Structure 1
């Protein structure tokens, strides 16, 4: 799907306790979510999608009779641009919003030059502009750095921010005790609704570049589960339950991904070997899960994640080789 083909009004799923899942319209429907949290007329957004996500979200806010001035906070679970690329445009349109970001990511939101350059180096300038548009600086006085244990109150509703590395070192998750929920960004993996079978979701890790750390990933999952959440809201994509089962699978798959990387490390076509092994593993797990989608549909849904996961595993391999 090209950006010009996106519908202005994205799909929205509303849950109890003031939580809504808004499709970020990132590449395809159901790939990335922006979460809206409303408490007594005061609202927050959790993650932003890209700049191209902004018009759709603003239209949803208008439909819900939420004025731009009612948005008090924009939370960035981390600063990868599918989560943070829309932050500067949202901050321009939401005059009272403060941006809440991990201390390791705050400087890159205030001065995004290095962040933009790094992503452009991967995609090239033309592709970057097509995917993300312009990334503008955000005034430092509107940025709140949120170290581990920060509590932000949304009209008296406490939101606990926990440092959760593993996917990225600039990642936090949000615990909302009111709804017994965690907003997990990428820490608790990826779960596309197309893979749901009889209301049971399928979840797998995201090891995309450049800071995958398997030991930290395991520890972060355990830390989240210690809160005994009833449900999780993933940026990719939306609400999942059955968290005990999913945590066990995440642990298993993190170890399996690491083993795939280690076995591929001596292969002459290391990247291709990892891609094929990841595809085979996830296809087998999906079959066990009961997924009956055609193989071509599964391959299409997994293609980008497998490619990025293999890239991230390669960077992790190279890093571990240097420090060993």
Structure 2
């Protein structure tokens, strides 16, 4: 695989491609070049070799890393934290209050991902190393973290994708690191001038009302930039938030129809994919575009989350 140099995004922030699932521009690690060198997201463990090489190319050593922030504990965002931390002797992992215990003991987290990814789990995520409690720093709603003389990051609780999710406001860029809470940015299309932002409704905490609320909170902040877990930065903030909000409602509508008809997640994921495909056809995107490698997988995982959400509603 041909590795890419870290991408400079301005405002002393770089992005290292983690090649999650062997796919470029799928997940990445943000590097905030401050007095306390700070990383946002690690990706899964197989991505850590790319993170390390990226840091070296930027002129940093692993000893320089002071904070490793994970927006939430899904393995494609935090799974590599234990592996990376092992080689970063001066680093602390920053996590949401609801996520801390799962980083200390990741067995339940791993079991949940194994149920979704099946036989691919080991290749995609192993090894998953526990993180010692004394190397965790818990941050929740309204908390801050000073990483430089003139830079204090601000944390805000942003559920919807998961209940263990925060977003991080960076005042120097007037930008916000959002993990998955306002969706996925498909950079494969952005290279061709097409901006596609879709919500991530993966199991098992998806909540459309909470996701809408988080989107509106971020909209009201008037940020200039959004930094996505998948993948990269956009300065088209209103467009991004509007699209995510619209597609949440479309996904929920499709989910309701599938449940009423007694259909399972396979049928739902196909309907979701066809809805997105129909939209992209209006933008003259070929059915053979490489973005569909990711969209096929994303719709399957999102359909699982929607089915799980409606099943929980029935039990209430």
Deviation track 1:270-289 (CA, whole Å, cap 9, x = no partner) reads 3233122211221222234x
Deviation track 1:15-45 (CA, whole Å, cap 9, x = no partner) reads 22111111111010111111111114x3111
User: Is 1:319 aligned with 2:283?
Assistant: no
TM-score by length of 2: 0.94
Alignment correspondent of 2:235: 241
CA shift for structure 1 position 300: 2.5
Aligned partner of 2:26 among 21, 26, 31:
31
Aligned partner of 1:264 among 258, 277, 280:
258
Three-state SS of the structure 1 residue aligned to 2:20 is coil
User: Is 1:206 aligned with 2:209?
Assistant: no
Q: Is the 8 A contact 1:231 1:242 kept in 2?
A: yes
Alpha-carbon spacing, 1:212–1:57, altered in 2? closer, same or farther (3 Å): same
Alignment correspondent of 2:276: 282
Three-state SS of the structure 2 residue aligned to 1:258 is helix
Q: Is the 8 A contact 1:267 1:273 kept in 2?
A: no
CA shift for structure 1 position 199: 4.1
* C-alpha distance in 2 between matches for 1:241 and 1:200: 14
Deviates more, 1:279-288 or 1:74-83: 279-288
Deviation track 1:33-84 (CA, whole Å, cap 9, x = no partner) reads 11111114x3111110111111221112112211212111000000000001
Alpha-carbon spacing, 1:294–1:261, altered in 2? closer, same or farther (3 Å): closer
Alpha-carbon spacing, 1:297–1:52, altered in 2? closer, same or farther (3 Å): closer
Deviates more, 1:113-122 or 1:61-70: 113-122
Q: Is the 8 A contact 1:10 1:24 kept in 2?
A: no
Alignment correspondent of 1:135: 128
* C-alpha distance in 1 between matches for 2:46 and 2:155: 27
Aligned partner of 2:209 among 212, 215, 225:
215
Query: Structure 2: which 5+ runs fail to align?
Result: none
TM-score by length of 1: 0.92
* C-alpha distance in 1 between matches for 2:303 and 2:160: 15
Q: Is the 8 A contact 1:188 1:221 kept in 2?
A: yes
CA shift for structure 1 position 201: 1.7
* C-alpha distance in 1 between matches for 2:59 and 2:67: 17
* C-alpha distance in 2 between matches for 1:153 and 1:298: 38
Q: Map of 1:184-203 to 2, 5 A cutoff? A: 184-196=178-190, 199-203=193-197
Query: Structure 1: which 5+ runs fail to align?
Result: 1-5
Deviation track 1:96-148 (CA, whole Å, cap 9, x = no partner) reads 11100000000011111222222234444x63221111111111111011111
* C-alpha distance in 1 between matches for 2:221 and 2:262: 44
* C-alpha distance in 2 between matches for 1:246 and 1:97: 33
* C-alpha distance in 2 between matches for 1:259 and 1:123: 25
Aligned length: 314
RMSD: 1.7
Q: Is the 8 A contact 2:272 2:299 kept in 1?
A: yes
User: Is 1:54 aligned with 2:45?
Assistant: no
Q: Is the 8 A contact 1:10 1:56 kept in 2?
A: no
Q: Map of 1:1-324 to 2, 5 A cutoff? A: 6-7=1-2, 9-27=3-21, 28-40=23-35, 42-124=36-118, 127-156=120-149, 157-196=151-190, 199-288=193-282, 290-295=283-288, 297-323=290-316
Three-state SS of the structure 1 residue aligned to 2:185 is coil
Alpha-carbon spacing, 1:295–1:60, altered in 2? closer, same or farther (3 Å): closer
CA shift for structure 1 position 291: 4.5
Three-state SS of the structure 1 residue aligned to 2:140 is coil
Q: Is the 8 A contact 2:155 2:168 kept in 1?
A: yes
* C-alpha distance in 2 between matches for 1:99 and 1:113: 18
